[in-house]
Structure 1
Amino acid sequence: MENIDFSTSIDQLRNGEINELLVSQPQFLAFRDVWLQLDDRVKFVGEAGLNGNIIYRYQPENK
């Protein structure tokens, strides 16, 4: 499994450097640990995919 710095990836998503972040099932708990610490976590919207993959997108207009 590839190690990902989710703090950096989340910042890139928030800043528009990337459009989406793919999180696989084995990576989810590591992602969740970082995500739970965010003040704007409701703006990160996940779309469930096949085999436990989730695609996260940042939607700044969410309240």
Structure 2
Amino acid sequence: MTFEQAEEYMNALRNKESNLIRIQKEDFLIFRHELMKQPDFKHFRGIARHGGHVDYEYMETPRS
């Protein structure tokens, strides 16, 4: 995964083009690095799954 692909995934969630994206274990650090730069990063919720991948979704209200 590239930083540009991570940005595309985040935009797809923001724009409701996707309800959920799955980030594989080997791509997690790149995605997380880009996610932390976003002004609305608290709207993203990551759910850790078995095998090391993470499912992300975008919430209308930010997490605390």
TM-score between the two structures when normalised by the length of structure 2: 0.87
Within a 5 Å distance, the mapping from 1:14-33 to structure 2 comes to 14-33=14-33
TM-score between the two structures when normalised by the length of structure 1: 0.88
Within a 5 Å distance, the mapping from 1:46-57 to structure 2 comes to 46-57=46-57
Q: How many residues align structurally? A: 61
Residues 1:35 and 2:35 aligned together: yes
Q: Which runs of 5+ in 2 are unaligned?
A: none
Give me the CA root mean square deviation.
1.2
Q: Which runs of 5+ in 1 are unaligned?
A: none
Counterpart residue identity of residue 36, structure 1: M
Counterpart residue identity of residue 12, structure 1: A
Same amino acid, percent of matched pairs: 26
SS of 2:45's equivalent in the other structure is strand
